[in-house]
Amino acid sequence: MQLAYWLCDNYLKDPLATLIVENTHLHILPSMNPDGFALRRRGNANNVDLNRDFPDQFFPNNDDIKQRQPETRAIMNWIKQEHFTASASLHGGALVANYPWDGSRDTRKQYYGCPDDKAFRYMASMYSQSHYNMSLSKEFEGGITNGALWYPIYGGMQDWNYIHGGCFELTLEISDVKWPKASELLVIWKQNKMSMLNLVASLVKTGVHGRIFAADTGRPIPGSLMVKGIDSKINASGTFGDYHRIIAPGQSYEVVASMEGFKPKRTRVMLGREAMNLDFILDPDGALKGTKPLRNDCGCSCNDDGASNKPFLLREAYLWLYLLALFSLLALYLLFRRRMASRLAAHRHPPPK
């Protein structure tokens, strides 16, 4: 709640608050388990641990939809509906940034990284290093940990969000005290403030962002995006065709956009410390060779591999409206000059009485 208050109070005053408000859709869920919070226990009103109630990739324990708790169903529907890029779940009882996987196939306590292990380590490290003292932990190197290595769980929200929602979730243990006193909450907020702000801002400042279009219509399409060598994909939105791919900076990647009924396009990028804008125009499977690339508002077209590194909007109608408005203003200006000249001439040479 303090994060929400701070963003509202500091919008247009603080550059970080302004960046977040103007460039992200930030959703804040005060509590996933309001009944358990009121009862001071892990379980909900049915005494079910919600962070063990999600479908699991290794075991079918929670595959029965009828047995799923209402809070779990609500979260699953929310994640699929909103098309989140990343999320963070706040917990108490330790001081560490936890990342997937949260368990392993053979249930042993071991390091079990997910396909986007580098990206998750980057996100977790950013949170830990921005924290008051998390990165100084003697128990966790750098203040981060792989869930399966530290505290394996099955049926958790973190892994489900990543697998089924394309949402990169961290589990943030933000207090060694499981139930801190109300008087300590403001101190915990101050210790986590910059970590939370930098984590949200990183979704704008880093990674690859863009849109996917159909070459024959110029309209956005809900294609998929993959990075070669990383066995996971994210989907662009159905309305705007926009995607936001989190990948660790400092190396080269081959990015591939695809969609059923279209030819895939790929390009290689060198991702530095700043985010990169990368748009794709996909040709239909039966498209003729030599199809003229669609123009964007920068006056440039996609390169040979179908990707453009500049923002792209297919709105040629705007150009005609702009020219029409320009000519209208010019005509009004000339008419004004003519009338002024006539009045001036009449003042200098008044008609004889």
**351, two tokens:** 């008609």
* Whole-angstrom distance, CA of residue 294 vs CA of residue 225: 20
Q: 282: which strand partners?
A: 214
Q: What are phi and psi of 277, to 5 degrees?
A: -95, 125
| Interior angle at CA 117, CA 111 and CA 123, nearest 5 | 115
> Is beta strand 168-175 parallel, antiparallel or unpaired with respect to 94-99?
antiparallel
3-class secondary structure, 269: strand
Q: What are phi and psi of 256, to 5 degrees?
A: -125, 130
- Helices 117-130, 185-205: axis angle to 10 degrees equals 140
Written as one letter, the residue type at 213 is F
CA dist 313 → 211, 269, 319, 320 (Å): 9, 21, 12, 15
Q: Which of 71, 173, 184, 316 is catalytic?
A: 173
Question: 109: closest CA among 154, 49, 175?
Answer: 154
224's CB contacts (< 8 A; 6+ apart) are 233, 234, 235, 236, 257, 258, 259
Is 169 an active-site residue?
no
**24, two tokens:** 């992200």
Long-range (24+ apart) CB contacts under 8 A made by 74-77 are 75/32, 75/157, 76/160, 76/164
Residues designated catalytic:
173
